[in-house]
Amino acid sequence: MFTILFKPVFHLAITTLLIFSCTSLVAATPGKREYNIKIAFIYNFIKYTQWPKHDQFEDRFYFCSSNAQVAKLASAFFKGKHMNNRVIEVKNITIEKLQGCHLLFVSKTESNLWEAYLTNKHLPGILIIGETPGFAHSSSQINFFLAANKIRFEINLKLLQKSSLTMHSQLLRLAKIIKISGASK
């Protein structure tokens, strides 16, 4: 039993340490290197998140983004990768094509458009990840930010709960937790 529980936790800890040790950044605008690091983080988010069982797309897991650069980099990264025996497929989408996505990555360049659409929407089964300051306060469950020139992430537990997704406690321990007082369920 200890080995079964220890192995995933150990894997997450090692992966996180490797990512954190390689994430020193100097550029303010996200570039290829920064997006590759974020996509590696996202892969771990996928592995340590549980989606609702009633998922209609049983053989595929859809990573969606409206940013063509992110979609291209994610396609290369996820080629041949699986999530619980499901092929990870990347889609470059528009707001109208959000249906069927399991994960939506919203880049800084599209955050205003998506925030207007996502605020106060109930989208069960979709993990929304952003990279714009304040985005997780209203629109996403996870948001990337820079601290001491390193990529970090914050998680909005209220929005995570509303989306019917569950995250492994080890992942939650690594995140900055957003607490929104007075937010309704």
pLDDT in tens, 112-153: 889 888 877 878 899 999 999 999 998 999 999 999 999 999
Cβ partners under 8 Å of residue 86, min gap 6: 58, 59, 60, 61
pLDDT tens per residue across span 67-115:
999 999 999 999 999 988 899 999 999 998 898 899 999 999 999 889 8
User: Which pair of tokens denotes residue 57?
Assistant: 């797309």
pLDDT level of residue 25 (50, 70, 90 thresholds): very low
State the pTM of this model: 0.81
Note whether 132 and 154 are within 8 A (CB): no
* Residue 19 pLDDT > 80: no
Instruction: Work out the average pLDDT over 43-52.
Output: 93
Confidence (pLDDT) at 36: 96
In three state form, how does the secondary structure of the chain look?
CHHHHHHHHHHHHHHHHHHHHCCCCCCCCCCHHHHHHHHHHHHHHHHCEECCCCCCCCCEEEEEECCHHHHHHHHHHHCCCEECCEEEEEEECCHHHCCCCCEEEECHHHHHHHHHHHCCCCCCCCEEEECCCCHHHHCCCEEEEEECCEEEEEEEHHHHHHCCCEECHHHHHHCEEECCCCCCC
Confidence (pLDDT) at 130: 97
| Domain 2-178 grouped into CATH 3.30.60 | no
| pLDDT higher at 38 or 14 | 38
Q: Where are the domains of the chain?
A: 2-178
